[in-house]
Amino acid sequence: MSLLLLIVQTLNGLQFGVLLFLIAAGLTLVFGVMDFINLAHGVQYMLGAYFAVMFYALTGSFVLALLLALGASLVFGLALEFTIFRKLYERDHLEQVIATFGIILFLNEGVKVAFGASPLSLPVPEALSGSVVLMPGLLYPVWRIVIIAAGLAVAAILYVLVGWTRVGMLVRAGASNARMVSALGVDIRRLFMLVFGFGTMLAGFAGIMIAPLLSVQPGMGDTVLILAFVVIVIGGIGSIRGAFIAALLIGLVDTLGRSFAVDILRLVMAPSPARTVGPAIASMLIYLLMALVLYVRPAGLFPAKGRG
Amino acid sequence: MSPTALQTEAAARAPAWRGRLLPFVLFGLLAVAPPLAGQGGGYVLTLLEQVMIFAIAALGLDLIVGFGGLVSFGHAAFIGLGAYAAGILAFHGLGDTALALPAAILLSASFAAATGLICLRTRGVYFIMITLAFGQMAFFTASSLAPYGGDDGLTLRMRSPVFGFDLFGNERIFYYATFVAALGIYLFCRAAIASRFGRVLRGAKENPTRMTALGYEVFRYQLAAYVISGAIGGVAGFFIANATNFVSPAYMSWQRSGELIVMLVLGGIGTLDGAVLGAAAYILLSEYLSQLTEHWAMIFGPLLVAVVMFARGGLIGAFRRIGWRA
């Protein structure tokens, strides 16, 4: 366990956390404002990545692919909202779960039909493909730094949007009491649609940004979806600030746990059991963390005012 | 006299069992399936065993979701624990049903008791997520059990003997053992719901504050229901380990928990009949569609959406609307 490795893994954890934030931000808003459990949010992330691959193949330019994929994610999300989700807001959570689960099934299979079952890849843009020397002996890929920077930038934009604009005020009010907001004369449907479209675009953005690092394949959104739910529950549903802190926490805990669990366990047990138990404990860490947080604070770290 | 008045009067005069036709049909069909399937019907029996095993688990889930209002998203863990109890005992040569079945029930029930104490502090969505957390912990614990196959799972050499006799080796006997378990648990759940315990549980779902004001310790009733539900999951686990001769962490994955919820919603929540119907519909339909096309999920997914949009209350709700007194 060297200092260098620790720094690299911390940066990786940060990058993972930022990615989770991009996905969780939309999820927590949709959930907080509309009280709508959208399992299909993870599929939006997957679609973002697929759109990017598709548009890159068409245009050959990463920037164009990014912009087109963002637009496509937004349009697709709004289309889903308009045709299906709109009719589900009034239903109970379980019905929302099964309907959006059906959409996951359909779209996971749909991309298999459209793009094939084998994983696709997206090259890192030429100018950002190298590594930089952060300190003597420490090379770090530029693209990961770009992801971290982009995520932090989105967090800053969201902070301003939600905290300091009129729309943001309505969103916060909606998360506390959507009915009251509606009664005060705000067109809640339009607000819902806006929040929803923005949320799906962020999830799509996360998929586009991560596509050069991961293989793009059907079902890639499913694991991320569960992690995003963990994030919003730890952070407190409806809270962007909570989602941000929880996402970084989960990203760091998960990444550092996976790289150092075996080494740490070796301090207290024999090497061979440490090697088998270590990975299991590492995978469990975030769930342990969630159970602990919910035990101490049953409504998450930063519950939206007036909720839970 | 108008037709509706006629119907109402007929219903009023009909004996009580007429109102509950569906369970008779469901269990009746399951009972006569083996002779109908004939000698070469091994495939049909295996499929229907799956249906009954998942029906058992879904019944247990319905007890807490449908009647207690507690949506557990980690229910597959109980199935997995039951399966592992049977599998690990068999691995050590102690796989007799007389030992393995109680062990499966006990293990799942204890896990439910321990986690329930913590989970039941939370409500609503937070309850869903904390049960998921414990489900995932069980999943990763199972995948770290290197002596018992870890990620790859554990293959059982034979089905659990019954007091030393290899009865379950006979497919039909095993089929009917599963059938008896499913029917027994269905009747048990019916009785539990109708009992005072069940009424308190349902009351706590509607209005926990009022039940507390009436002097009931809601938490205890909910915990008891959660433990019973977990124990029933353990029974399902014992049977699934025997049906497949295989135990693996995949039994505990969150996707499995999700599938159980889907079965329940598909059939109709809070009816018990819906749990059985939903398990049958889910398994048989996905099996049928997967034989039609490799891309069966593209049909099954929209079907689920359609059920939610157009058939509120699941299949049971749809039956009721067309005039069945299911």
Which tens digits make up the pLDDT trace of B294-324?
Answer: 888 899 999 889 888 887 788 888 877 776 6
Can you give the pLDDT at residue A179?
84
Distance of alpha carbon A32 from its chain centroid, rounded? 16
Which pair of tokens denotes residue B123?
């409500």
* CB count in 10 Å sphere of residue B208: 16
A287: closest CA of chain B, how far (Å): 5
Cα B70 from Cα B121, distance rounded (Å)? 11
Average pLDDT, chain B: 88
The beta-carbon neighbor of B308 closest among A37, A98, A299 is A98
Contact B126 A298 (CB under 8 A): yes
Can you give the pLDDT at residue B325?
56
Distance of alpha carbon A70 from its chain centroid, rounded? 15
Contacts of A88 in chain B (CB under 8 A): 308
What percent of chain B has a predicted confidence (pLDDT) above 90? 59
Is B13 among the domain residues? no
**Range(s) of the domain holding residue B159:** 42-254
Can you give the pLDDT at residue B84?
96
Can you give the pLDDT at residue B126?
87
Picking from A109, A111, A292 by the largest number of B CB atoms within 10 A of its own CB, the best residue to mutate is: A109
Core vs surface per residue B211-242: b (16+ CB within 10 A) or e = beeeebebeebbbbbbbbbbbbbbbbbbbbbb
**Residue B172 clears pLDDT 50, i.e. is over it:** yes
pTM of the model: 0.86
B141: closest CA of chain A, how far (Å): 6
Yes or no: say if B229 and B63 are a contact pair by the CB < 8 Å rule.
yes
Yes or no: say if A12 and A255 are a contact pair by the CB < 8 Å rule.
yes
Is B132 touching A (CB cutoff 8 A)? yes
Contacts of B150 in chain A (CB under 8 A): 276
Is B55 among the domain residues? yes
For chain A, 308 residues long, the average pLDDT of each consecutive 10-residue run is 85 96 91 85 95 94 94 94 89 87 92 92 87 84 94 94 90 83 87 90 95 91 89 90 95 93 85 81 88 88 67
**Residue B161 clears pLDDT 70, i.e. is over it:** yes
Contact B295 A291 (CB under 8 A): no
**Residue B41 clears pLDDT 80, i.e. is over it:** no
Contacts of B296 in chain A (CB under 8 A): 109
Q: Are strands B246-247 and B154-155 parallel, antiparallel or unpaired?
A: antiparallel
Is B8 among the domain residues? no
Yes or no: say if B67 and B201 are a contact pair by the CB < 8 Å rule.
yes
Cα B156 from Cα B151, distance rounded (Å)? 15
Cα B269 from Cα B275, distance rounded (Å)? 7
Beta strands (DSSP E) in chain B are 154-155, 246-247
**Residue B3 clears pLDDT 60, i.e. is over it:** no
Cα B169 from Cα B11, distance rounded (Å)? 46
Cα B262 from Cα B58, distance rounded (Å)? 10
The beta-carbon neighbor of B297 closest among A37, A106, A298 is A106
Can you give the pLDDT at residue B5?
45
Element (H, E) at A40: none
State how far the alpha carbon of B198 is from the alpha carbons of A35, A223, B115, B203, B318, in Å. Answer: 29, 37, 21, 8, 26
Can you give the pLDDT at residue A305?
63
Can you give the pLDDT at residue A306?
56
B304: closest CA of chain A, how far (Å): 5
Contacts of B304 in chain A (CB under 8 A): 98-99, 101-102, 105
Counting Cα atoms < 13 Å in the Cβ hemisphere of B46 gives: 11
Contact B130 A291 (CB under 8 A): yes
Average pLDDT over residues B51-72: 95
Is B20 among the domain residues? no
Is B69 among the domain residues? yes
Contacts of A94 in chain B (CB under 8 A): 65, 71, 261, 264-265, 269
Can you give the pLDDT at residue A1?
52
* Residues forming beta bridges with residue A131, ordered by sequence position: A141
Number of domains in chain B: 1
Residues 172-231, chain B, touching A (beta carbon < 8 A): none
